[in-house]
Amino acid sequence: MEFSFALKNLGKRTPANLIRSVRYGTILTNGVVCRTGAVILTRAICVVFPVPFLIKRLPFYRSNILSHSFCLHQDVMSLACASIQVNSLYGLIAVIFTKGSDSLSILLSYAFIFRTVMAIASGEGRLKALNTCVSHVCAVLIFYVPLIGVSVIHRFGKHLSPLTHALMADAYLLIPPVLNPIVYTMKTKEIQRKLIQIFVPAKVTAEG
């Protein structure tokens, strides 16, 4: 998800796009979209594919109760009755490769955007350009804050109740997909107009 944010921002929030209106259709062609989707899908498969095999080789003789409401790799391997060094090492490499590279890409893209915006002479133009990026920043934060919360709780919250772990896990799963459409709706006038066109006539008809 966050990787797609970085690719979108790098591809769509270029200096030309910030300074003047362009046709995204000439940039984001079907071929570009398909190749981008293929890269995201391939990377996800490569990262997740080894996990079941790493878990399958571990013996489990004790409790089989997970602290999260979904199957988290760290949560499952903590129940194993053998060395989990290989699993821990793979998890660390996967996090650095995915979350680390994604975070770096997002930071670089927004540094590039900020430099471009500061080059705009008009203060009003600067404010308008920055406003177009607010929804993207909020969407990234909506994903990363619950993710960091789950990681911190899992690492340092061993003494907390199972309910706390379950609530944080559910928040990580539900908050991003629930809030992202709301954020983009609030910041995008085109979406607001479409929603008004859909719901307002229905309301008038029902009252009539």
User: Which CATH number covers residue 141?
Assistant: 1.20.1070.10
- Cα separation of 14 and 31, whole Å? 19
Q: What residue numbers bound the domain in which 43 lies? A: 2-207
For residue 160, count other CB atoms closer than 10 A to its CB: 12
| pLDDT score of 10 | 46
| pLDDT score of 24 | 58
| pLDDT score of 72 | 79
Contacts of 72 (CB under 8 A, 6+ apart): 66, 150, 154, 169
Per residue in 83-95, pLDDT (tens digit) is: 888 988 888 888 8
- Count of structural domains within the chain: 1
| pLDDT score of 182 | 81
| pLDDT score of 206 | 47
For residue 1, count other CB atoms closer than 10 A to its CB: 14
Q: What is the pLDDT along the chain (208 residues), one digit of tens a residue?
A: 444 544 444 444 444 444 444 455 676 788 888 998 898 899 889 988 999 899 888 888 877 777 777 777 877 888 888 888 898 888 888 888 888 888 888 888 888 878 877 777 677 777 777 777 777 788 788 888 888 887 777 777 777 887 887 888 888 888 888 887 887 777 777 777 777 777 776 544 444 4
Do 139 and 184 form a contact (C-beta atoms < 8 A)?
yes
| pLDDT score of 49 | 92
- Cα separation of 156 and 144, whole Å? 18
